[in-house]
Amino acid sequence: MEPDTGVGENTENKSTTGTLEIDGMTVFTETWEPEIPQPQATPLLMIHGLAGSTTTWTLVGGGLANALGSRVVALDLAGFGKTIADEHDATLETNKALIFGALDQLGPCVLVGTSMGGALAVQVGVARPSHVSALILVNPALPRPSGNREAISRTVKFALSLAPKFAEPVLERRAQLLGAQRWVDSALDVVMADPDSLPHDVRSRLIELAEARASDEGSFPAYVQAAGSLFKYLAGSMVDDIDFVRQPTLLIHGTQDRMVPVSWARSIISRRTDWTYREYEDCGHIPSLELPERLVGDIAEFLAGLH
C-alpha cells in the first residue's frame, strides 16, 4: 500500500504554529500532527538551511506526519525566519545549542536537515547520540573533497562571509536594490532546477518573510555569522564528524545542485558505505520544495525499514 503523503498546496494549513523557550530565545515552530498517530512513533525535528525557515518544509510536513504516524516539528534557527537572535549570535554553535534545547523538550527525535541544517544535524547527532535515533540529510552542506574543484567560484564567494565588515553591507545593498520579490526569485533561480514548479502560495510566503526580514537590522549580520561559522566547520571538523556518525543515515542529493555539487555527496558515500543514498535527477538544492512527494516516500520507506 502506498503511504498517504498528504502533499499538496493545503498541507501548510494543517500545521499549527507555536514557540519554544530556549536559552532566553523565543524559537518559532511549525508542527504537523498525524491524522492517525502510531504508538511509540519517534517525532521528526526538521532543520532548515542558510537563509531558510520552516517554510522549507511546508510541502512535506503534513505528508511525513501522516506517512509515519509521527509528530513533525520544524523550527526557525536563531536569526532566521521568525526567531529573533536578540543578544545571541547566529553561529552554528548557537544553533547547535538551540537544537539541544529543542531535543530536551521534545525528547529523542529523527533529525531531518537540509543544506546548513544537514551540517547541524551531523554535529548534533555526534554530540547527542542518545537524543537522535536517525539522520536524514537532504542536500546537506558538505566538505569539498580533496582535489575537487567543482563550484570553486561559489566557495570563494562563500568564504567572503569570514569578513563581515565587507559582506554585510554588500548583502544589504543588494537586497535594497532587488526588493523582496526579486530577491526571492533570484535565490530560487539558483537553488531550484525549475523555479516555475514552486506553488504560488509557497512563493508568496517566502516573499512575505523576506519583506519582514528586510526591516530587521539583525537579519544580515545573522546570515553572515551563520555562513562564516558554516564555512569554518566544512573546512575543519565536519570530515571527522561524518566518520563519527553512528545513527542510521539517509543521504539524499539532487543531481542539479549548484550549491553543493552531487560529486561531493558521492564522495561521502564512497566512505560511508553503510549509509543509504538516493539521488534525484533534475532536482536542485531543495528537494523538499522541488520533489516533495518523492522525498516523503523515501524518508518513510527508510524509517520503516529500521523497525
Residue 275 predicted with pLDDT over 50: yes
Q: At what angle do helices 152-159 and 219-235 cross, to 10 degrees?
A: 120
- The three-class DSSP label of residue 59 is coil
Q: What domains lie within the chain, and their CATH numbers?
A: 11-304 (3.40.50.1820)
Q: What is the mean pLDDT of the chain?
A: 91
CB contact at 8 A, 142 and 234: yes
**Which positions ≥6 away from 4 have C-beta within 8 Å?**
35, 63, 66, 67
What are the φ/ψ torsions at residue 72 (nearest 5 degrees)? -120, 120
Output the CA–CA distances (angstroms, integers) from residue 246 to 93, 249, 255, 262, 274, in the order listed.
Answer: 21, 8, 26, 23, 10
Query: Residue 90 and residue 34: Cα distance in Å, rounded?
Result: 32
CB contact at 8 A, 63 and 296: yes
> What tens digit of pLDDT does each residue of 262-273 get?
999 999 999 999
- Report the predicted TM-score, pTM, of the whole model to 2 decimal places: 0.92
Residue 286 predicted with pLDDT over 90: yes
Q: What is the pLDDT of residue 4?
A: 36
- The three-class DSSP label of residue 124 is helix
Half-sphere exposure of 100 (CA within 13 A, CB side): 13
Q: What is the pLDDT of residue 150?
A: 83
Q: Percent of the chain having pLDDT more than 90?
A: 77
Q: What is the 3-state secondary structure (H, E, C) of 151-211?
A: CHHHHHHHHHHHCHHHHHHHHHHHHHHHHHHHHHHHHHHHHCCCHHHCCHHHHHHHHHHHH
Q: What is the pLDDT of residue 11?
A: 40
Lowest mean pLDDT among 15-24, 79-88, 185-194: 79-88
